[in-house]
Structure 1
Amino acid sequence: MADTTPEHDRERLKSALWYAIGQIVDEESLKRDRNATPQFIGALTEMVWNQIENVAVDLETFCNHAGRTTVTTDDVLLLARKNPELHHIMKEYVDGLKAGKEAGAGSSRTGGAKKNKAKK
């Protein structure tokens, strides 16, 4: 039977992160004709893991402060506020997604009305 304890899940996620980082480092090492040691990959994995944990805690805190149980794009944008360039890129992306959804919803509403007029 598979072990599904939180600690086991955490170790599986960390292993997957280590593997993914290793793949990226290997690819970049080949492009640049460099070598990276397993210790470097391990240290980079630990650093990224710590960043992920910090981001997760911050997002959960923002979400709870707003009285929600689900993290939203507003929480992510709030997290990115200290990096203006990143915040700007993310804000444009989120605004584009929202505009696309509104345009899609608007066209389906007007499209239905046009079809009804055409049938009469």
Structure 2
Amino acid sequence: MTCRDNGDYCGWDKSAVKGLAATVWTAAVKGLATEAEEKAEILRDRFRLSAVSIVESEVKKQGMEIAEPVVACVADLAFKFTEQLARDVELFAQHAGRKSVNMEDVIISAHRNEHLVGLLRSFAQELKGKEPAIEKKRKRSSKKKQSPDEGEFSAL
């Protein structure tokens, strides 16, 4: 019989054991949160670098010049817009009773921009055209089976 089996805390104060357990749990949760925050920061940095690259490329195509603070501001705004868009489409999917986002959620998120909605709808149609045809399984009807001697019309 170990000290845990009989409710003894092996000479430790019960409150100290609970405090230690809470500390370990908090550290584990913070470790997971820190890891998630690190991944989010890496994603944010990569997104901003891509946005900066796109802005600089477009500015060069137009033969213009742009100040570095403006480029940083555009990259930051693009990231914040994308974060909001992600929250919106997630809410649309939840409202529809789904756990995952689909193309219709993205199209709905663009409802304020008719031109963008049109582009997204045509893009969605192109994607559907490229998709291999998948047969949907039909549910069996719940009609009562007829016996061989019963026809469509039964005698009354």
Asked whether the two chains share a fold, i.e. TM above 0.5, the reply is yes
**Equivalent residues of 1:21, 1:45 under 8 A apart:** yes
Two-structure CA RMSD over aligned residues (Å): 2.2
Identity %: 26
What is the CA–CA distance in structure 2 between the aligned matches of 1:92 and 1:28, rounded to whole Å?
25
What is the CA–CA distance in structure 2 between the aligned matches of 1:88 and 1:97, rounded to whole Å?
14
| 1:15-94 alignment, distance < 5 Å | 15-94=45-124
Structure 1 residue runs of 5 or longer lacking an equivalent are 107-120
- Taking structure 1 as reference, are residues 31 and 91 closer, same or farther at Cα in structure 2, changes over 3 Å only? closer
TM-score normalised by the chain length of structure 2:
0.57
TM-score normalised by the chain length of structure 1:
0.71
Aligned structure 1 segments of 4 or more residues deviating by more than 3 angstroms: none
- Taking structure 1 as reference, are residues 8 and 67 closer, same or farther at Cα in structure 2, changes over 3 Å only? same
Q: Which has the higher contact order (CA 8 A, sep 6+)?
A: 1
What is the CA–CA distance in structure 2 between the aligned matches of 1:32 and 1:95, rounded to whole Å?
32
**Equivalent residues of 1:18, 1:41 under 8 A apart:** no
Are positions 1:105 and 2:133 aligned together? Answer: yes
Higher helix share: 1
Displacement of 1:17 after TM fit? 1.8
Displacement of 1:100 after TM fit? 4.1
Aligned residues: 102
**Equivalent residues of 1:60, 1:71 under 8 A apart:** yes
Structure 2 residue runs of 5 or longer lacking an equivalent are 1-33, 135-156
The equivalent residue for 1:95 is 125
